[in-house]
Amino acid sequence: MSSNNRIVMTARSMFVGVGCLLAAVSVAASPSKNDYASGIVVESANTQPMIEALLPDEVYRGVTRADLTDLRVFNADGIPVPHAFCASPQSLFPPVTEQSLQVFVLRGRDQLYTGSSRVNVETSAGTRVEVQESSPPAPEVVTGRIHIIDARDARPLRAIRFDWRSPDDVSEVKVRIEASDDLDRWQTVVPASTLLLARQNGQELRRERIQLPLREYGYLRVQRIDNGPPLIINSVTAEVVGEAEEIEPLWFNATRVQSAEADVLAFDAEHVAPVTYARVRLQQENSMASIALQSRADEQSPWRDRWRGESYVIVSDTVRRESPPARFQPTSDRYWRVQILQDARFYQDSSLELGYRPARLRFLAQGPGPFTVAFGSRRAELAQPAACDGLLADVSGADRERMIEQGYLGQLVSLGGADALKIPPKKTPVKVVVLWAVLVVGVAGLVGMALSLLKRVRHPPNLGR
């Protein structure tokens, strides 16, 4: 092989080596638990493919980003698993109670509803003229017995249940339900519904519940609209929907810091949480203060108004009354201040409580457990959580809910510690360093081979000796 060919092949080998090195460094290292400052182990029964848990306050105290992208879930092998965040519910399911309603029976004449127009005209000569606009449907008979239900003391209603029977012992009847506030003007709320009662061989088949549009009612009128005899309604029971109880937000005390202004109380939240509520705690009883609440993300940003109003604490006999919490749009700002809009000397010992609703963490139970929620990092690659229903998205909503089990978070443990929270120094990308190093070595090798070739040309070997 000639020297020129050897030089070409060597150059090709060097460029292939450069490509391989670049491909190797282009693959990002998989994140590990030690890339995060802290972690919490999740305990569960491991019977379903997904686990869900409410994030504790320690997570919002430890994360560095409001979008929670410095949080991951690892299985026992240290491999991250897919996860998502869901909004926390603001209230419990409203309670439903049953209440007996009084029923009145009215008697009237039977009416025939045909749903079409018909005009009969008879002249003095005895000629009869009949005009019919459209072909009538089967006639609908409303019996003369009408039941009026007094629902004024039970509201709002979502359904009523009947204890009924028919004089002709039929198993199925059809009724209409109308509503009124004054027993004069009636509005149909259920055009037609079926009541069913069948017995056979000691077994019973019932349909005695009729669902109503959820709202308040004064009176309900029940009429049978098939051709059977009037119903006998023994009793009516209503399903009354109560007020949903609001879930108490998660509260924490902001840390008091030095303020350069005499009428301003400054605080550090030390949380990256979606704060929605605030309470200014006045320590002196029977006091009231007009305040302005402001916040900002960092010490260089301008202050933004969050709420203005009165904070008070009043003690009367044995009753202590405090102003309700301030409520505003969620913000993850860290720094807060309370400006006293009057003489601030009486309120210097006041404190600030902030409240928020933590997110629900949902993750795929992929691989062996137990699973660890790792969070708080400035060096790990940002996670890409799915949407709330993005895990097993092709499964129906009802089936997906059945595939979720409750997880329970344990104690806080240290993983990477404070080093994971340090901002890494800005450095030259690895690919650039490797590329230049390989190019320098390659150029040096080519120069060396070129000098060697030149020396051989000038001093060829004496093959005759």
More confident residue, 323 or 9: 323
Q: Would you state the pLDDT for residue 235? A: 92
pLDDT at 194: 93
> How far is 327 from 311, CA to CA, in rounded Å?
13
In a domain, 433, yes or no: yes
Identify the pLDDT of residue 277: 96
Most confident option among 121-125, 139-143, 307-311, 439-443: 307-311
Question: Do 214 and 111 fall within a single domain?
Answer: yes
Averaged pLDDT, 415-440: 73
pTM, full prediction: 0.65
- Packing angle of the helix pair 3-26, 430-458 (nearest 10 deg): 170
Q: How many residues does the chain have?
A: 465
pLDDT at 158: 93
Residue 229 lies in a domain: yes
C-beta separation of 85 from 92 below 8 A: no
The answer to the question of residue 464 being in a domain is no
Number of domains the chain is built from: 4
| Same domain, yes or no: 309 and 385 | no
Picking from 356, 386, 401, the residue at the C-terminal end of a domain is 356
What is the pLDDT averaged over residues 340-350? 81
The residue behind tokens 């020396």 is 455
Q: Does the pLDDT of residue 402 top 60, yes or no? A: yes
- Asked whether residue 264 is domain-assigned, the answer is yes
234 shares its domain with 110: yes
CATH of the domain at 123: 2.60.120.260
Instruction: Read off the pLDDT band of 8 (50, 70, 90).
Output: very low
The reply to whether 166 and 280 lie within a common domain is no
> Average pLDDT of 62-83?
95
Question: Tens digit of pLDDT for each residue in 152-178?
Answer: 988 899 999 999 988 888 889 999 999
Encode pLDDT of 188-243 as tens digits.
Answer: 999 999 999 888 888 888 899 999 999 999 999 999 888 888 888 989 999 999 88
- For position 170, what pLDDT does the model report? 83
The rounded percent of the chain whose pLDDT value lies above 70 is 78
Does 336 share its domain with 369? Answer: no
Please check whether residue 59 lies inside any domain of the structure: yes
Per-residue pLDDT, averaged over 329-355, amounts to 89
pLDDT bucket at 115, cuts 50 / 70 / 90: very low
- What band does 60 get if pLDDT is binned at 50, 70 and 90? very high
- State the number of CA atoms in the 13 A half-sphere of 418 facing the CB: 0
pLDDT band at 109 (very low <50, low <70, confident <90, very high): low
Q: Does the structure show a pLDDT above 90 at 457?
A: no
In a domain, 463, yes or no: no
Whether residue 142 is predicted with pLDDT greater than 70 in this model: the reply is no
Q: Where is 311: in which H helix or E strand?
A: strand 304-316
Residues 56 and 73 in one domain: yes
Give the range with max mean pLDDT: 54-58, 392-396, 430-434: 54-58
Last residue of a domain, one of 223, 241, 259: 241
The C-alpha torsion from 26 through 32 and 37 to 39, rounded to 10°, is 150
- 414 with 439, same domain: the answer is no
What is the rounded distance in angstroms from the CA atom of residue 216 to the CA atom of residue 179?
10
Contact at 8 Å (CB) between 407 and 52?
Answer: yes
Instruction: Pick the last residue of a domain from 312, 330, 356.
Output: 356
34 pLDDT exceeds 50?
A: yes
Residues 23 and 69 in one domain: no
Please say whether the beta carbons of 323 and 311 come within 8 A: yes
Q: What is the pLDDT of residue 440?
A: 67
Q: Is residue 465 part of a domain?
A: no
pLDDT at res. 113: 44
77-88 pLDDT per residue, tens: 999 999 999 998
For residues 363 and 352, state if they share a domain.
no
Long-range contacts, 386-389 (Cβ 8 Å, 24+)? 386/82, 386/83, 386/84, 387/84, 388/84, 388/85, 388/86, 388/87, 388/362, 389/84
Residues 16 and 106 in one domain: no
On the question of pLDDT at 20 being above 60, the answer is: no
pLDDT, mean over the chain: 83
Q: Show the domain range for 7.
A: 3-28+427-458
The predicted pLDDT at position 140 comes to: 45
> Is position 448 within any domain?
yes
Residue 431: predicted pLDDT: 63
Q: Which pLDDT score is estimated for 128?
A: 54
- The answer to whether residues 413 and 39 touch, using CB atoms and an 8 Å cutoff, is yes
Same domain? For 207 and 237 the reply is: yes
Judge whether residue 465 has pLDDT over 90.
no
Give the integer Cα–Cα distance in Å for 388 and 390. 6
At residue 454, the pLDDT reads 67
pLDDT level of residue 464 (50, 70, 90 thresholds): low
What is residue 366's predicted lDDT score, i.e. its pLDDT?
93
Asked if residue 389 and residue 324 are part of one domain, the reply reads: no
Task: Please tell me the distance from the alpha carbon of residue 117 to that of residue 122, in angstroms, as a whole number.
Answer: 17
